[in-house]
Structure 1
Amino acid sequence: MYCCTGYYLTEYGCQECIGSFALNCSLPCLSGYFGPRCTLHCQCVKDKCDAKFGCPKAIETISKVVEGTAASEKGFPEITKEVSCCTGYYMYEENMTCLACIGAWGQNCSIPCSSGFYGRLCKSRCLCPENQCDKLTGCVKESGDQFEADVDRLITHILFHWILSVITNI
């Protein structure tokens, strides 16, 4: 498994960089920027800006712990972090890991595949009439009045998710 730019891999999945950015959080924030993936701009003198917490405040009572350091120890404001996945992935709530979209794409897999496309991130094209293309498994076979899923693709799809769940629970 790999993480998107601006995230690093932990035993719990991909975590957002705080106080750094780039692939595997390899670069520190530029002077004057801080927080998640260095996206926040400090409103204080640049040399007073902490890459993780931003500008210090004179009086601040904070109990939240961010990456092992209590923010109140340094007098910095609380940072809340929203856990999210990269575009083309969704959060698998059971173990909080990001999984690739199948039969859809976009942020949180919110956009279904276009007609004639299927599979992971909708990158596969059906080689059958569009009305016989299943967004998850691809081409389906007509059997009387019902459509019957292509067994090989369905088994592959099920095995993929089963193997992925076994791997992520190790």
Structure 2
Amino acid sequence: MCRCVCSHQTMLPRELFLIATILAVCDIGSSREAYNRTMYNATGETQKCSSGYYYDGSSDECKECPLGFTGKNCFLKCRYPSYGKLCQSECNCLKEHCNFSTGCDVDQNECFLGFTGINCSMECRYPAYGKHCQRECNCSEEYCNLATGCV
């Protein structure tokens, strides 16, 4: 943990720069330090929030992670293909079109085969399959692959 003990003597610009740099590094900290940091509430008590929550000092309570983040203190950003609330949703589009908080930022032309709709979130329903779910399987549901058709 970084602590600054400052005296009231006159400092040279170089010393001020060094102090500002040290404070910036202390504020940011290493990623491991930020992940494992103990949070304290307004009365100085240790505040332990469950995974998927972070401590909000202004309201003195644990709050759910914002969309696109998860883990202890909401330190982990969703990794492709996961996105959204606690990273529990899955993109059905290419990585470059998958936003970690909102999902697929594409029109339906870029969804994976077998998916359609907003954010490519809807699977084709039997007997539909393929691009935009526009093709139709001529086999039983158990043999109809939503991307390629009858297998």
Which of the five TM-score ranges fits, normalised by the shorter chain?
A: 0.3 to 0.5
Question: Greater strand share, 1 or 2?
Answer: 1
Structure showing greater radius of gyration is 2
Question: Greater helix share, 1 or 2?
Answer: 2
Alignment TM-score, normalising by the size of structure 1: 0.34
Alignment TM-score, normalising by the size of structure 2: 0.38
